[in-house]
Copies of this chain bind each other. A is one copy, B any other.
Amino acid sequence: MPATPNRRERLRAATIGEIHAVARRLLVQEGAGAVTLRAISRDMGMTAPALYRYYPSLDDLLHGLYATFYDESRQHVETTIEAAPGGPGARMFIACRALRAWSIDHPAEFTAMFASRASVKPGGAAPEPGLHAAGMRFADTFLRLFVDLWQHDGIVTPPDADVPPPLAAQLTAFLTQHHVPLPVGAMHAFVSAWVRLFGMIALEVFGYLHFCLTDSQAMFEAELAAIGRQLGLEP
C-alpha cells in the first residue's frame, strides 16, 4: 500500500464512498428492504454486477456500511466531548447525551447496527471481522472515558469483594488481557452503567416506551441522573 495512492486507487476509494452514501440514503429514506444491489447501481448509473468489483456480496457491502455507523457514532461522541468544558465527570454525562442524540437522529442506522448480528444467520455466528473491530473501537471509547473518570474524579465504585466470584473471574480476565487499569468493582459498575444506557436508548429508538411516554427525553435525563448517582457522581 503506497503512501501516495494512484489515481485508480483514489477513484476506487471515491466509488466505495459513493456506494456507502447511496446505500445509506436508500436505508434511511426507503427502509432496509430497499437497499438492493440493483437499486444502488441504478442510482450510481452502473449495473449491478459492477459492485462485485468492490464487495464479494451484498452482505459484505452492508457489513462494511454498518461498520461506518459504529465509527460515525463514536466520532460524534468524541468530537462532542472534545469541544466541551469540564472534568471527566461532566464529560461522561456529555458523552452519554451525545450517543443518545446520534441514535435518536439516526434510527435506521442504529437499528441496522444492532439487528445485523442475529438477523441473517442462525446460531451464534461469529460477527464479520470489520464490523467486530468497529464495535471494539466503539466500546473502547466509552471504556477510556470511564477509566479517566475513575482515575481523576474519584467516583464511588463498589469494593471488589462485592462482585460475585464467577462474575469477578470473567471481568478480571478481561482487565488483565486488555491491560485496563481498573479494579473489578469499577469494571462491574461500568458494564452495569452500559446496560442501563443501552437499554434506555434502544427502547427509545425502537419506540417501546410509546405505551406510556409521548416524549422520552425527560425519562432519559432521569435515567442518566440515576446512572450518575449509581456511580457516586453529581450532575
Chain B CB count within 10 A is highest, among A135, A196, A215, for A196
Closest chain-B Cβ to A84's Cβ sits at a distance in Å of 23
Closest chain-B Cβ to A210's Cβ sits at a distance in Å of 9
Classify chain A: how many residues form its interface, as a range.
35 or more
CA distance A145 to B166 in the complex (A): 30
Q: Whose C-beta in chain B lies nearest to the C-beta of A175?
A: B212
**In the complex, A5 has a CB within 8 A of chain B:** no
Q: Whose C-beta in chain B lies nearest to the C-beta of A127?
A: B207
- In the complex, the answer to whether B222 meets A114 with C-beta atoms within 8 Å is no
**In the complex, A199 has a CB within 8 A of chain B:** yes
**In the complex, A107 has a CB within 8 A of chain B:** yes
Chain B contacts for A198, CB-based, 8 A: 199, 202-203, 208
CA distance A198 to B223 in the complex (A): 14
Chain B contacts for A205, CB-based, 8 A: 118
Chain B contacts for A211, CB-based, 8 A: 135-136, 139, 174
